[in-house]
Amino acid sequence: MDATGPVEHLIAALAAATGAGTEVVLRLLLAGTALGAAGLAGLLLARHWRPRVAAARQREQDLETLWQAMDSHAMIAIADGGGRITHVNDTFLRETGFPRADLVGRAGPPVLPAEGGDPEAMRTALAEGRIWRGETRLRRRDGSTLWAQTTMVALRDAQGRVERTISLGTDITEGTLRLAEAQGRALLDRLRDEVYVVDAADLRLVYLNRSAREALGWGAEGYAGRHLADTVAEFDAAEFQARVAPLVSGEAGALTYESLHRGRPVEISLQPDRGHDGRLRFVGVVRDITGRKQAEAARGQFVATVSHELRAPLTSVMGGLKLVTSGALGPLEDKPAALLQVALRNVDRVVLLINDLLDLEKLDAGKMDMPMEPIDLGELVQEAAAVNGDYARALGVRIRAEGPGRPVVVPANRDRMIQVMTNLLSNAAKFSRPGGAVDVALSDAGSAAQITVRDYGTGIPKEAQARLFERFAQAGGGGDPRRRGSGLGLSIAKAIVEQHGGAIGFESQEGQGTTFRIELPKRRLELLGAA
């Protein structure tokens, strides 16, 4: 206990409420010294004081009894006018798990309003001398949350300043949790998607909604005491923990991925959540995407069929146009020649669009042929610069390539990486100003290689940056026909780089240019060599 015990606080409270005379009488009675008895002998014998002293004694006994009852039942915390805790009772320590030394003398309120409560309203009520009542939350020593129904009152001195604050709380954690869980479960049971709530520490099932229970054939409480592994055949706990590590560390707020769940394609969304008890949980929503996959397959088949049917006749048309415009069939007048050139360019654009669509469908279906072999990226960068040099020069732009001066070898597919580099270099040339340059550089970052393609042109508008890698997204360019494209190139480039286990990103400022960065891992070379 601290130096000023509970009885002292109550004496001060009574003095503030009834006057200083009461405090004097109570302190003398409690002191029990000879001086106090002698000084009060006459008063005690006087008829005028005898009833008052008897009443004071009874009041003191009643207060002691009341205090003992409250002390054994409620959590009591007292703070001084500056908010520093001066006393907590044994019940407070028992419920929170803290030793007294960790709390007494600590600055700050011993309790806070519950979620949805208003801390400012609490402070205002206490400053004005009013009693505040409401739900509060405390953090136990083990990190869990304790909910309490709390009454707080501020005692003020003669000048009206807050001298101390007393709070009395009753643990309502169990009831609060039951109510919150009941409300949450009633809501989740209405969802058609399967919902799994799992304790993050041991992967024990905390809750399954009706859809999940019906899918598993379990009753209302059939998940009690069971593990997440009981819901999925061949569950790999280590793989799951590795997947959710970013959620535990806070690096990610949610994870979404596709998987097979009991023989059907599903989309799984995982989010971390702390329950009212403070324990970390994973909330998983499993959505059946069989219909979506069927629609995607049908769409892919349609696009592939149409693209194949169109590509053959368009290739013939383009061959014929090239033959005519080359003069092989005789000289052409200027106007017909110009019209044929326009037709040839547009046929060429349609053929490129069809090829891009076919590439996307192959990537989506995982059918794009992409055998890997050790590739020197220095040679690949020089080849890509040479292949795109004539196109850039036609736009009045130079391509400048540089590397580390030594081989940088990664496992890659040469043709597909040339396709990626061609997309980036042609885009950089299109969006450069005549007389400008495009710099392509290669660097060795140890476990990975990095390729950068930088232009000094118009840059990408801010409103277009967030969607740049989406299909059919355009980076701008106004009405300049040189800068029009299908809007599929970057989407394909991103997919190819990710198939290599790498990543692609960019930085851009309007009016100053754009830099694209590709990172490719140098791993698995020994496996490729062994194969």
Nearest CA to 442 among 459, 421, 423? 421
378 close to 408: Cβ distance less than 8 angstroms: yes
CB atoms within 10 A of CB 144: 17
DSSP annotation of 114? P
Task: List beta partners, residue 204.
Answer: 227
Pairing of strands 398-402, 437-444: parallel
Report the predicted TM-score, pTM, of the whole model to 2 decimal places. Answer: 0.45
Q: Which pLDDT score is estimated for 320?
A: 85
State mean pLDDT over 314-333: 82
H or E element in which residue 518 lies = strand 513-521
* Summary mean pLDDT of the chain: 77
For the chain, percent of residues with pLDDT exceeding 70: 74
> Looking at residue 109, what is its pLDDT?
52
**Number of Cβ atoms within 10 Å of the Cβ of 53:** 16
Which has the higher per-residue pLDDT, 253 or 61?
253
Which is more confidently placed, 174 or 112? 174
Band (517; pLDDT cuts 50, 70, 90): very high
Question: CA-CA distance, 301 to 349, in Å (whole number)?
Answer: 22
Neighbouring CB atoms inside 10 A of 126's CB total 20
Query: Is residue 53 very low, low, confident or very high in pLDDT (cuts 50, 70, 90)?
Result: low
Q: Is 529 helix (H, G, I), strand (E, B) or coil?
A: helix
Q: Which residues pair with 133 in a beta bridge?
A: 151
481: which DSSP letter? G
Quote the pLDDT of residue 528: 40
Residue 465's CB is within 10 A of a number of other CB atoms, namely 17
Closest Cα partner for 452 from 386, 529, 508, 501? 508
Round to whole Å and give the CA distance between 440 and 516: 9
Cβ neighbour number for residue 229 with a 10 Å cutoff: 14
pLDDT of residue 37: 39
- Name which residue leads in pLDDT, 50 or 407: 407
Higher pLDDT, 19 or 461: 461
- pLDDT score recorded for residue 156: 80
What does the DSSP 8-state code read for residue 388? T
Q: What's the pLDDT at 77?
A: 85
SS3 of 458-469: CCCCHHHHCCCC
Pairing of β 162-171 and β 75-80 = antiparallel
